[in-house]
Amino acid sequence: MDKKILLEECDFKAVRSSGPGGQHVNKTSTKVVLSWNLPDSAALSEDEKQRVHLKLSNRITKDENLVVSNDHSRSQLKNKEALVKNFLLMLEKALKRPKQRKKTRPTRNSKLRRLESKKRNSQKKADRRNPDF
C-alpha cells in the first residue's frame, strides 16, 4: 500500500457541518468528506482491493467509492488531518490478515478442573433439593 499514491487518488470536499456551534457552523464549511474510488486505485493490488471491499463494504457506495467524513473539530484543517489519519488506519486494518488458529488439545489439568467444577455445581444443585426421607 503506497500512502502517497493513495492520498493523490482521494477527492476531498469541505461541506457545512451539523450540530452545535451557533453562527459559526451556519457560515463555514468545516466538515471534510473524503471520496476514494476503489476499483481505479493504482496503490493496491487486486487481492488487496478485494479484501478492502469485503471488510469495508458498509462504507462503499454503489459507484464503488469509499466515503469517509470527519467533523469533530471546528477547524477544516484539523478535520482533514484527522480524516487522512483515520482513512489510512482503516485501510491498514482492512488489509491486515488474521492469524491462523493453531489447533490445540486441552491439557489434562484443564479437563480435571472442568470435571471438578461440574461436580461442585451438581452437588450445589443437589443440596437445594428437598431431602428424601
pLDDT digits (tens, 9 = 90+) for 72-108: 888 899 999 999 999 999 999 999 988 999 999 999 9
Per the CB < 8 A criterion, the answer to whether 71 and 24 are in contact is no
Please state, in angstroms and rounded to a whole number, the distance separating the CA atoms of residues 17 and 74.
Answer: 9
Helix, strand or coil, per DSSP, at residue 11: strand
Determine if residue 71 is left, alpha or beta; phi over 0 gives left, psi from -120 to 50 gives alpha, anything else beta: alpha
Contact 56, 94 (CB under 8 A): yes
Position 73 scores a pLDDT of 85
Is 70 exceeded by the pLDDT of residue 1? Answer: yes
**Residue 129, C-alpha cell as written in the block:** 433439593
Is beta strand 31-37 parallel, antiparallel or unpaired with respect to 65-70? antiparallel
The tens digit of pLDDT for each residue in 31-57 reads: 999 999 999 888 889 999 999 999 999
* Model pLDDT, residue 20: 67
Please give the pLDDT value at position 19.
67
Per DSSP, helices labelled H in the chain are: 3-9, 23-27, 46-55, 76-95, 108-128
Query: Inter-axis angle of helices 76-95 and 46-55, to 10 degrees?
Result: 110
Backbone phi and psi for residue 132, each to the nearest 5 degrees, phi listed first: -100, 105
Dist CA 68 CA 90 (whole Å): 10
CA–centroid distance for 83 within its chain:
14
